[in-house]
Chains A and B, each alone.
Chain A
């Protein structure tokens, strides 16, 4: 994906920081202090818990390789995308929505199949 918009840049950086295991930087750069991550299984609230969550999540996945970005839409204050990823535990399809304020997420909705 060529990077032409703020939303595309956010997505690109999100994936790069995750793949590099730079979770501290990721959370500080992309999430507000009181941001919420919402999935079908749980809600994670605040930067400190988000850092722990992403460290555990990435350690469990082992690796995160983007096989294809299947859908991507954005508005000035949101991003929605669907992607196919390869992890150490297998291939999965991920769905993520970010609600943004000043370029950082206030809410991150995520699902994986």
Chain B
């Protein structure tokens, strides 16, 4: 199965195209490793040591991972080295530490001779089905807590961007992860995903991707009552109030939508701006968009790389066309671009004077396309922000702390950023409200979702 470089539009290499029969073998290997192998019975500190080793190897091999991500999905090398890789190794360190805190508790019963204690146990086989847009970090955010809890893992990376998963598999081997504990399947999402979701020996599906595919996974997994964590789509609102530091707010708004070319589930794709500063914000944003450096993601000056695949590129362009045909005003971008005559580049695109009922404001575009919507009152801003089927992330830019905290209470989203955007930490839970999913990745809450409780009752008489 070929893997393409979206910068050159040339094939990088071929990767194995696993079949449903391969998926079945992988699941059996993972199940056997869970039931018979050492991983789940290993002392927590033993698992932690291996996870810390994984983290160290990721850091040591950061350049290789960065080049793979740049060539495979167009993520700027600089962004990966400076932001993504520390998050990846950080996840293994955080959950390595959490592994040592995975303990149960003691409870009192009605009768004095009865003693109750609880144990936290791993679920079994976890299938981590990961997306194309942040191939490594969104794999680590599932694999690290799953392994920390003592589960075994089948990793199915996106078919368009599998190259860092291959390097991660080598890290797992080199770190001493026992046989069968981490299993990698590359290949088509539909047939492999279906095989994993329906397999009776798979206990949990950890999925990041579109809401439609997430819903399909939940339906398919219902017969075998799969545990699921769903990190799905978003259409995140970013509100700029007139009392904000406008220059800082514009910078934040720009990167909220255009980081990683807008191929980000938490992209701030709806910018809601208070009327007195609306024109200033639109002009400054449009100026930034026009001056953004599109180019080869391996080059240090590149700010915006190519769209990860031709399918995504075509999809984003359909939304750009929908925006052009609407009553919104195109103030920047709206075109494709070639770099050295090649590449799936789309200019950072800003539609001003949008309304929240437009297609470009309601549907997840997953590309560098921003809708800017004016508002007059705080109530109106909240109403627009919450008027979406999604609830993954949100943010506001304001100089008024009381207002910021008031809005943080009222916005229906799993993350609220105040005077910032795209901040992440392994300790902070991440996930969605509404059609953006359920369950949390990162933080102790994530570890919880990879374990189940057992109550043990002892009669001392």
Contacts and interface: CB of A to CB of B under 8 A. Distances in A.
The listed residue with most A CB atoms (<10 A of its CB), out of B64, B296, B301, is B301
The contact size tier of chain B is 10 to 19
Interface stretch (B66-74, B385-393, B403-411): B66-74
Contact of B340 (A41, A45, A55, A58): A41
Interface of B: 63-64, 66-67, 70-71, 77-78, 81, 295-296, 298-301, 340
The contact size tier of chain A is 10 to 19
Given A48-B300, A49-B300, A56-B67, 14 more contacts: A41-B299, A41-B340, A42-B296, A44-B299, A44-B300, A45-B301, A52-B78, A52-B300, A53-B298, A56-B66, A56-B298, A56-B300, A59-B67, A60-B298
Given A56-B67, A56-B77, A44 B298 contact: no
Contacts, number: 41
Q: What secondary structure prevails in chain A residues at the interface with B?
A: helix
Interface of A: 41-42, 44-45, 48-50, 52-53, 55-60
Contacts of B296: 41-42
A56 B301 CA distance: 12
A56 B340 contact: no
A17 B72 CA distance: 28
A59 B66 CA distance: 9
Contacts of A42: 295-296, 299, 301
A100 to B, nearest CB: 23
Nearest to A61: B67
B295 A58 contact: no
The listed residue with most A CB atoms (<10 A of its CB), out of B63, B66, B295, B300, is B300
Contacts of A55: 63, 81
A48 to B, nearest CB: 8
A14 B176 CA distance: 37
A80 to B, nearest CB: 24
A44 B77 contact: no
Q: Can you list the 10 inter-chain pairs with the closest CB atoms, starting with the nearest?
A: A59-B63, A49-B300, A52-B300, A59-B67, A56-B77, A56-B298, A60-B67, A42-B299, A55-B63, A53-B300
Given A44-B301, A49-B300, A49-B301, A56 B295 contact: no
A39 B78 CA distance: 19
B64 A59 contact: yes
Given A41-B340, A52-B77, A58 B300 contact: no
Nearest to B339: A41
Contacts of B71: 60
Contacts of A45: 301
B327 to A, nearest CB: 40
Contacts of B77: 52, 56
A92 to B, nearest CB: 16
Contacts of A60: 67, 71, 298
B63 A58 contact: yes
Contacts of B300: 44, 48-50, 52-53, 56
A61 to B, nearest CB: 9
Nearest to B301: A49
A26 to B, nearest CB: 14
Contacts of B81: 52, 55
17 contacts: A41-B299, A42-B295, A42-B296, A44-B299, A44-B300, A44-B301, A45-B301, A48-B300, A50-B300, A52-B78, A53-B300, A56-B298, A56-B300, A57-B298, A59-B63, A59-B66, A59-B67
Nearest to B65: A59
Contacts of A56: 63, 66-67, 70, 77, 298-300
Contacts of A49: 300-301
Contacts of B70: 56
Contacts of B301: 42, 44-45, 49
A5 to B, nearest CB: 32
Contacts of A52: 77-78, 81, 300
A104 to B, nearest CB: 19
A107 to B, nearest CB: 17
A53 B63 contact: no
Contacts of B64: 59
A52 B63 CA distance: 10
Nearest to B298: A56
B122 to A, nearest CB: 36
A56 B300 CA distance: 9
Nearest to B61: A59
A50 B301 CA distance: 10
A51 B323 CA distance: 40
